[in-house]
Amino acid sequence: MRASAVRVDDDALDLIAEAAAAACGIDRRHRIVYWNDAVAALLGWTSRDALGRNCYDVFAGHDIFGNICCFQDCGVAVASLCGETVVPFVMDVRHRDGTPLRLVTRTVAVPSPGAAYRCLVHLFEQGDGAALATILTRLRSVVAPKPEPPAGPAVERHASVTLTRREHEVLEFIAAGYGSVNIAARLGLSHATVRSHIQRLLRRLEVHSQAEAVALAFRRGLLGGDKEGGEGRIRIDE
């Protein structure tokens, strides 16, 4: 089992939470696995509404010419899979109440672009993008820079993993967009205790980051009720 290569202090999702940036995370199956309060306020969909749904069903995005740009295996997903860094792009979407919105979308692949990426983190802005560009630079500085060997064609096989109920609770908060400081406040725990829970969670799941953890949890059926989860299941310790 490999240890996490990223300190919890420097985790991409913690940086997003600290900056209160509107952001979501999308796994390799195009499901939304991370949805914070800022993007909920921007688009009108709560984390309960969005988590586990296909990103293209929630966003239904079009480019500035009116062409559909949100669909399975979209250009952004394919580019990330091929190891390309996605440049910012403009996407027209609708608020849940039908109001049209034009968003500049910036993307970071976690752990890095290439066949090993597990989650695409999208950050959205509607005006001056200078602050968001700064966040993007920080995010790219903490994700793993080394591409891993391309995954083979065989189906992934994992040993079963058992999480404590507290670890599962922390995982749910992460998926809903809470940073470690906010989780500590919600659970009445110290920040150090929550960071320890997150570190153990990453080690148990054998991932490098919180974004990878929530993507894996959806893929293996711990979050979102995935009926197509991998053979290795994640259980909650009774």
3-class DSSP assignment, residue 53? coil
If asked whether residues 129 and 180 sit together in one domain, one would say: no
Structure tokens at 58: 């929630």
Strand partners, 24: 35, 122
Decide: 147 and 83 in contact? Cβ < 8 Å.
Answer: yes
3-class DSSP assignment, residue 55? helix
Domain assignment of residue 193, given as a range: 161-236
If asked whether residues 99 and 17 sit together in one domain, one would say: yes
If asked whether residues 25 and 117 sit together in one domain, one would say: yes
If asked whether residues 170 and 212 sit together in one domain, one would say: yes
Residue 94 inside a domain? The answer is: yes
Structure tokens at 47: 């984390």
- Residue where the block lists tokens 């922390």: 170
If asked whether residues 103 and 181 sit together in one domain, one would say: no
**Structural domain count, the chain:** 2
pLDDT greater than 90 at residue 143: no
Average pLDDT over residues 82-100: 93
Average pLDDT over residues 202-216: 92
Strand partners, 236: 163
pLDDT greater than 70 at residue 176: yes
State the CATH number of the domain containing residue 109.
3.30.450.20
3-class DSSP assignment, residue 62? strand
Confidence of residue 19 (pLDDT cuts 50, 70, 90): confident
Residue 68 inside a domain? The answer is: yes
Residue 2 inside a domain? The answer is: no
If asked whether residues 193 and 83 sit together in one domain, one would say: no
If asked whether residues 207 and 132 sit together in one domain, one would say: no
Residue 103 inside a domain? The answer is: yes
67 vs 231: CA distance, rounded Å: 38
State the CATH number of the domain containing residue 217.
1.10.10.10
pTM of the model: 0.81
If asked whether residues 170 and 209 sit together in one domain, one would say: yes
If asked whether residues 132 and 28 sit together in one domain, one would say: yes
